[in-house]
Amino acid sequence: MVVLRSIFFWPLDINHEATDETVEVRLWGKEESGATSLVIGSLNPYFYLLPKNAENVQTVLREVEDLKSQYGETVKAEVADKKYFGKPVQAIRIKCRTSEAMEKCSKNLSKLPSIKEHLEDDIRPATRYIIDNGVSPSGWYEFEVSKTARPGLMVDNVYEAVGQPEAVEVLKTPKIKILGFSITCLSEKGSPNPARNPILAISMTADPGRSEQLISDGKNDRQILEEFISRIRKLDPDVIVGYGQNSFDWPYLIERSKKHKIALSVDRSGTEPHRSVYGHISVTGRANIDLADVSEDIPEVKVKTLGSVAEFLQVANRIDIDRFLNVETAELWRSAEKRKALLEYSRRRAEVSIKVAKLLWDFTVQLSNTTGLPLDQVAAAAVGFRVDSHLMMQSRELNELIPRRREQPYIPYEGAIVLEPKPGVHDNVAVLDFTAMYPNLMIINNLSPDTFVGQEELPSSEVITVPEVGFKFRKKPPGFYKCILENLISVRKEIKAKLDKTDRKSIEHRILREREKAIKVITNACYGYAGWVGARWYVREVAESAAAFGRDTLRRVFKIAESLALPVIYGDTDAVFVEYDRPKVDKLLTKVESEMGMEIKIDKVYSRLLFTEAKKKYAGLLPDGTLDIVGLEVVRGDWSNAAKAAQERVLEIVLMEKSTHKAVQYLHEFIGNLRAGELPITDFAIWKTLTKPVDSYQVKAPHVEAAKTLIRQGWSLNVGDKVGFVITKGAGKLYSRAKPYTMTSPAEVDFEYYVTNQVLPAAMRVLGMLGADEAAILSSSGGSALSDYLERS
């Protein structure tokens, strides 16, 4: 007799295994008790065929049934009422025993002349299970299960799922065991090479705070590899974190293990770590989260290293954590004292990765649950794929067939409005902006792939015509995007209401906050997703129309402002800068909201605002005395610290102390110090990203040349890596004088380049607006004569 019981279960990782009869979907996760369990679900993979001629569905079904016997492995073919891009369709659903059978079946049947399309055969079994059962990873579910056994798996319990699980609203995360790890390898010249350089040390920190370090003799790492495997098996972590382990640590461990013919059995199912979707390394049964991936979502951190991320999150000092980053270890290893420091550095990296992980944990969990992607995948997936996954999750409830990704041409379209700013200083400026403009425009105008009217002629009362571009969308029924966005917005509203009623210091409050953030991220990404050729639900006209409505909306605001005689100073996309005349601004807001049905609010008020001649570049003083700097060199990652620091100080003096004279004097001194060689080399480094392999650049560029130098030295540089270079003294093109800053001494730096091409342009962007003169700054007097004159006038 089968004994059923019900468990509360939190899926952490999902994979599938083929059996003869079905596909076994394995949900690895945690129970309420803290037990590690495996819940096994089974499914027959299926796909859909769309007949060319809708009336013929029964005939085609018979045709398919006759043929499918040739493939033997199919289970069932039946007609299903679905929607495809909103249109009701009768599709033929063909269930197969295994994924292989499905692939074969789909490949052959879709060739039939009576078949127009084959759909959903590109959905992997784990995803299929998630969608069909509404089980999103990283959330609580009540499962009806029966106990079973699978020898050799590292779990406390194994169950078979019976029937549909149910989502349970519990605002807590199960007790999770985290392991942070970091490996340090031998490198003679440049980056360590797993083909010849052994691992020197493997540092591990198990929460809470239990650190250990496996140290090799510097020649043979077999023993520490074996020990590493046994330590992981003993600790049995649910989550493994590190920094860059998807691209470095795991591949290195994998190759070293292969060399020693050791099975890297660190997962819960007796297989080995392997590369999987979105380039992450999957460790079955555990969540392998690369914090370098997660850090991509922290735009405040420009050059992403574990140290800079840790420092941003206030858990460590950057210098400590990055101390030996990109340093050849062979020399350090030879000296007893330096070796000690290297090992300490390695230990600290494992330790701090846990601290970083804990701070990013709740958000990552909520993003995983919102998108339906397991933790390890959601961390590695780009924005577009997160949205894709969320939409696929929602498609079932809306009975929509999931479109396949199609190869299609990229056609650019017109974007938002940006006004020409009025250069100079303005007092009391209010910044008004629309709340979630694009999502709301998509909802209000029902912009969606399934409501888009192509060739069809429809009565004008039934459609919305988009300004400028003239596209048409059906008013009814609600489109796919409208349903998705309204749902996201309403869930977010519910969360906000709950937040108000929850103790601000409680765990529940924190989880709700992160959930709200995750939902906001997905909501805001929908417009961009809609205009991305890689999107499953891509229809260019949808995104193009949202942009056109955005332009129309902004223009209407300008008109209303004009009718109120309220001067508009600047405008960009969904924001309008106006003179802060309170009564007029209030009138404007009321009028805009009532006429357009969208929320607009005062985002901030600048007491003083400096516009340059350029769009998207300004600096404003907020009432609390802080400086808001937008678009200027200060906030950019591709200007030297020297230029950024000088510009920032100049802005402070000009806006806070209102003294151009003082700013000019400051700059004069700053340049003097620079020329005197008083700045550290790091202040001269300019960082730029390699956006393609170094060989595929069409032109010679400084950062690419610096990258080539590093590569010649043995460093491995990949697409996406940032290169820090300085311009050195000498003749010739700039690119020929660019050198990696780590290989350059301050004496080699071309100070005049930095004065002329970095510090002065950045500072003059600001001071030029106030009438200061470059020659005066450079003159020995510090420009006092001119600025005295300006101050008086």
Partner DNA sequence: TTAGGTCGGGG
Partner DNA sequence: GTGTACGACCTAA
Ranges of beta strands (E only) in 408-503 are 424-434, 452-453, 463-465, 472-474
Of 638, 657, 669, 678, the one binding DNA by CB under 7 A: 638
Neighbours of 203 (CB within 10 A): 25
Q: Does 739 bind DNA (CB under 7 A)?
A: no
CA distance 179 to 234: 12
CB of 653 to DNA, least distance (A): 20
Count how many Cα atoms sit within 13 Å of the Cα of residue 351 in the half-sphere of its side chain.
16
CA distance 770 to 768: 5
One symbol per residue from 120 to 149: x for binding DNA (CB under 7 A), - otherwise; what is it? ------------------------------
Neighbours of 772 (CB within 10 A): 23
CB of 736 to DNA, least distance (A): 7
Q: Which two tokens stand for residue 517?
A: 């953030």
Q: Which residues contact 96 (CB under 8 A, 6 or more apart)?
A: 44, 45, 46, 47, 71, 73, 74, 75, 102, 105
Ranges of beta strands (E only) in 470-536 are 472-474
Region of 87-95, 252-260, 612-620, 670-678 interacting with DNA (CB under 7 A): 612-620
Q: Does 513 bind DNA (CB under 7 A)?
A: no
Neighbours of 699 (CB within 10 A): 6
Q: Which residue lies nearer to DNA by CB, 148 or 691?
A: 691
Q: Does 752 bind DNA (CB under 7 A)?
A: no
Of 636, 649, 658, 662, the one binding DNA by CB under 7 A: 636
Region of 194-202, 488-496, 702-710, 743-751 interacting with DNA (CB under 7 A): 702-710
Q: Does 715 bind DNA (CB under 7 A)?
A: no
- DSSP letter string, 628-653: EEESSGGG-TTS-HHHHHHHHHHHHH
Please provide the size of the chain in residues. 793
Q: Does 730 bind DNA (CB under 7 A)?
A: no
Of 282, 263, 231, which Cα lies nearest the Cα of 12?
A: 282
Cross-strand pairs, 161: 145
Q: Which residues contact 283 (CB under 8 A, 6 or more apart)?
A: 240, 266, 267, 273, 376
Region of 39-47, 160-168, 169-177, 635-643 interacting with DNA (CB under 7 A): 635-643
CB of 580 to DNA, least distance (A): 17
Q: Does 769 bind DNA (CB under 7 A)?
A: no
Torsion angle, alpha carbons of 78, 80, 85, 86, to 10: 160
CA distance 533 to 568: 36
CA distance 183 to 194: 12
Q: Does 701 bind DNA (CB under 7 A)?
A: yes
Q: Does 704 bind DNA (CB under 7 A)?
A: yes
Q: Does 572 bind DNA (CB under 7 A)?
A: yes
Q: Does 751 bind DNA (CB under 7 A)?
A: no
CA angle 662, 668, 670 (to 5 degrees): 100
Count of residues of this chain found to bind DNA when the rule CB under 7 A is applied: 63
CA distance 224 to 791: 70
Q: Does 574 bind DNA (CB under 7 A)?
A: yes
The alpha carbon of 763 is separated from its chain's Cα centroid by a whole number of angstroms, namely 33
Considering only residues 361 through 400, tell me which ones interact with DNA, judged by CB under 7 A: 382-385, 387
Q: Does 722 bind DNA (CB under 7 A)?
A: yes
Is 793 in a helix, a strand, or coil? coil
Q: Does 404 bind DNA (CB under 7 A)?
A: no
Q: Does 733 bind DNA (CB under 7 A)?
A: yes
CA distance 104 to 47: 11
Q: Does 611 bind DNA (CB under 7 A)?
A: no
Considering only residues 299 through 338, tell me which ones interact with DNA, judged by CB under 7 A: 299, 302
Q: Does 667 bind DNA (CB under 7 A)?
A: no
CB of 437 to DNA, least distance (A): 8
Of 102, 131, 283, 547, the one binding DNA by CB under 7 A: 547
Q: Which residue lies nearer to DNA by CB, 6 or 736?
A: 736
Of 6, 691, 716, 781, the one binding DNA by CB under 7 A: 691
Region of 108-116, 490-498, 555-563, 686-694 interacting with DNA (CB under 7 A): 686-694
Note the residues at the interface with DNA (CB under 7 A).
278, 299, 302, 382-385, 387, 412-416, 418, 433, 525, 527-529, 531-535, 543, 547, 572-575, 612, 614-617, 630-631, 635-638, 687-692, 697-704, 720, 722, 733-735, 757, 761, 765
